[in-house]
Structure 1
Amino acid sequence: MENHPKITVVGSINMDLVTLTDKLPEMGETITGKQFKMNPGGKGANQAVAAARLGAQVKIIGCVGRDSFGENLLQHLQSEGIDVSNVEPVTDSTGTALITVYNNDNNIIVVPGANNHVTASFVETKRDIIADSDILILQLEIPLEGVQKAVEVAKENNVTVILNPAPITELPAGLIEQIDYLTPNEHEHSLLIKGMNEQQIKEKVIVTKGSRGVSLYKGDEEITIPSFRVNAIDTTGAGDSFNGGLAVALGRGLSLPDACKFGNAAAALSTLKLGAQTGMPGKEEVETMIKIAEKMKKHMK
């Protein structure tokens, strides 16, 4: 019987408003852009979609506005097979990210809006949902008090906790102590470890390094789980795909190195299409990529 781990995501749900332009306007200037797109986003929603496509039973806890963006995002998440019954509409606007893409770079203004309502008291009302999970995934695009409450409930009920510490902020020592796995990128890692002792770093931290894979500790030895080589088109959402893949694999009982390999494959495949959620792969695609890579490795020996 196939294992479909129960994963709960407590996190952000945004609409990404993307403008492509040949130049950036000066202050007070109006210019004509090349293209405009609206894409579902928010790190919480991204990681929920990643886990759902990889075969998990996914529930998301969060808030959206009573507006068309909120309605559209909920419909989209439901179409991905995600349980949105614990996403509540609030009077604030749905979270948005205003993204201007220029010359292969971008600048972003994030307006959290409804995501700011995912407070400790709100999360407390979802206690039973968290308690019934195999894995809890969190990020830092909601209030820190909401993150802390979710972790507290998870640990009271022996639920494994993954925190993707983005955007990076200083974390209380007591919170770090309760988290099972922290998944920073290299920039976040350098800031995160300032508040951690050596034992915590070795036990909890998995550093994502893009095309150079991920690093973690096996006992006292730092090891690298290599990435899968692909011709990447868009790396947006690759980290979220990794976190979704890591959670699903751990929920299925894989070892940490094997779970990281599964996450790496999911991340690599997600870069082959434009958009954060658009290119997130299914379970069969990930397993096929791992099998092909292992066959090639055997032939090279």
Structure 2
Amino acid sequence: MNKACEVVVIGDLLLDILFYIDRKTKIDRLSHVISRAFISPGGVGGNISTALSRLGVQTCLVSAVGGDAIGRYLLEDLENEGIDSRHVKIFRDKPSGVTVAFVEPDGSRTLFSYRGACEEQYVDLDSLAEAMKSSKFLFISGYLAHSPWGEKAMIGAAELAYRLGVEVGVDLHEICGEKPGILEGLRRKVSYVFLNVEELRSVSGERNLGRAIKKLDEMLKPKAIFVKRGEKGSTISYSGKLINMPAYRVKAVDTTGCGDAFDAGVIYGIIKQQSLEEAARLGNMMGAYKATGLGARHLPKGLEELNTLLNKAETPAKG
């Protein structure tokens, strides 16, 4: 896969193991038998790369796997999805990362992640500069902040993209709020910020949604902030405006990866020069589609399939 990449994604590539449980099942010291389990490629980097590739975007992933059968499986999946994996490092003496998810009947889930090889330093700025030669957008996962090298890598990648004239989007994780150096280093270098309500509250230190968004805007000075609100849709903040974008009403089966699907939809809209409202609408569509199936990679094969399913869904509810 040697075509020029429109979008470069920095983020973890993991194996997801999902257990679908009923409400009476608890995480305790007893033994439980469940009726359904599911195994799928996952990780924020892999999920967003796959979603973008399905939408027809040439995508390059910067990530890591171990030198094991799981790593080989994950790399083969990237190849099958048409994703440039030249910048996925293989740490042969490390195991690949795994996430175990417990999914409840309403689709909500609890995650336990072992990052494995993704704990190793997999962001090399010289290699990243090569990957971004013809890129329009760089996405950085906030999960990198869990690694000792993550803060420096996130800031270095954003600064590099800024110098190259590549737009930067970052999905902030709660841990980013515990490391103020990250927010200071990303200030004015990140164009688009993605996060959910709890992450927003954690990073900003504010409970009220409006005040939290305003504070984050002051911290980072981005072009826009996209807040993911689940069944309530999403909220965009830009140019002093707050706009609620309604959710699509679908029967949620599994919400694993919905936030990643949303991010990919928004990124697609941005690089196709759609309005921010249209980009958020597409993000909501992608998140809704993902929620209707099992695993983080339940994604449309293209815009036509996405529109076909959501044309059957109820009209968006008010945000």
Task: Provide closer, same or farther for how the CA distance between residues 103 and 175 of structure 1 changes in structure 2, counting only shifts above 3 A.
Answer: same
1:103 and 1:283 map into 2 onto residues whose CA distance is 28
1:262 and 1:103 map into 2 onto residues whose CA distance is 26
C-alpha RMSD of the superposition: 2.9
Identify which of 91, 97, 100 aligns with 1:98: 100
Provide the residue aligned with 1:147 in structure 2. 154
Which amino acid in the other structure matches residue 220 of structure 1? G
2:301 and 2:250 map into 1 onto residues whose CA distance is 14
Task: Provide closer, same or farther for how the CA distance between residues 33 and 6 of structure 1 changes in structure 2, counting only shifts above 3 A.
Answer: same
Provide the residue aligned with 2:170 in structure 1. 163
Task: Confirm whether residue 213 of structure 1 aligns to residue 233 of structure 2.
Answer: yes
1:226 and 1:198 map into 2 onto residues whose CA distance is 26
Decide whether the 8 Å contact of 1:94 with 1:113 is kept in 2.
Answer: yes
Which amino acid in the other structure matches residue 114 of structure 2? V
Which amino acid in the other structure matches residue 100 of structure 2? L
Please give the residue correspondences for 1:171-182 in structure 2 after superposition, counting only pairs within 5 Å.
171-182=182-193
Provide the residue aligned with 2:266 in structure 1. 246
1:143-178 C-alpha deviation (Å, 9 max, x unpaired): 232222221211111111111113542233121321
SS in 2 for 1:126: helix
1:239 and 1:201 map into 2 onto residues whose CA distance is 22
Which segment is superposed worse, 67-76 or 143-152? 143-152
Which amino acid in the other structure matches residue 196 of structure 2? N
Please give the residue correspondences for 1:265-280 in structure 2 after superposition, counting only pairs within 5 Å.
265-280=285-300
SS in 2 for 1:125: helix
Task: Confirm whether residue 114 of structure 1 aligns to residue 114 of structure 2.
Answer: no
Which consecutive residues of structure 2, in runs of 5 or more, have no partner in the other structure?
145-149, 206-214
Provide the residue aligned with 1:76 in structure 2. 77
Following superposition, the deviation at residue 290 of structure 1 comes to 7.5
Identify which of 128, 131, 137 aligns with 1:129: 131
SS in 1 for 2:51: helix
Which consecutive residues of structure 1, in runs of 5 or more, have no partner in the other structure?
none
1:276 and 1:160 map into 2 onto residues whose CA distance is 26
Following superposition, the deviation at residue 270 of structure 1 comes to 1.5
Which segment is superposed worse, 194-203 or 131-140? 194-203
Task: Provide closer, same or farther for how the CA distance between residues 287 and 123 of structure 1 changes in structure 2, counting only shifts above 3 A.
Answer: farther
Identify which of 278, 281, 301 aligns with 1:261: 281
1:108-166 C-alpha deviation (Å, 9 max, x unpaired): 3211111122455x343332102431111121222232222221211111111111113
Following superposition, the deviation at residue 244 of structure 1 comes to 0.7
Report sequence identity in percent: 26
Following superposition, the deviation at residue 236 of structure 1 comes to 1.6
SS in 2 for 1:156: helix
2:36 and 2:289 map into 1 onto residues whose CA distance is 25
SS in 1 for 2:252: coil
Following superposition, the deviation at residue 204 of structure 1 comes to 3.0
1:107 and 1:232 map into 2 onto residues whose CA distance is 15
Decide whether the 8 Å contact of 2:19 with 2:102 is kept in 1.
Answer: yes
Provide the residue aligned with 1:193 in structure 2. 204
Following superposition, the deviation at residue 209 of structure 1 comes to 0.9
Please give the residue correspondences for 1:1-16 in structure 2 after superposition, counting only pairs within 5 Å.
6-16=6-16
Provide the residue aligned with 1:138 in structure 2. 140
Which amino acid in the other structure matches residue 154 of structure 2? V
Decide whether the 8 Å contact of 2:141 with 2:171 is kept in 1.
Answer: yes
Provide the residue aligned with 2:44 in structure 1. 43
Provide the residue aligned with 1:19 in structure 2. 19
Task: Provide closer, same or farther for how the CA distance between residues 88 and 207 of structure 1 changes in structure 2, counting only shifts above 3 A.
Answer: same
SS in 2 for 1:74: helix
1:113 and 1:60 map into 2 onto residues whose CA distance is 17
Decide whether the 8 Å contact of 1:232 with 1:272 is kept in 2.
Answer: yes
Provide the residue aligned with 2:63 in structure 1. 62
1:202 and 1:145 map into 2 onto residues whose CA distance is 20
Task: Provide closer, same or farther for how the CA distance between residues 168 and 281 of structure 1 changes in structure 2, counting only shifts above 3 A.
Answer: farther
1:106 and 1:249 map into 2 onto residues whose CA distance is 28
1:211 and 1:26 map into 2 onto residues whose CA distance is 29
Following superposition, the deviation at residue 182 of structure 1 comes to 0.5
Decide whether the 8 Å contact of 2:248 with 2:285 is kept in 1.
Answer: yes
Task: Provide closer, same or farther for how the CA distance between residues 250 and 103 of structure 1 changes in structure 2, counting only shifts above 3 A.
Answer: closer
Decide whether the 8 Å contact of 2:9 with 2:49 is kept in 1.
Answer: yes
Following superposition, the deviation at residue 19 of structure 1 comes to 3.5
Which segment is superposed worse, 229-238 or 84-93? 229-238
2:241 and 2:19 map into 1 onto residues whose CA distance is 45
1:89 and 1:5 map into 2 onto residues whose CA distance is 21
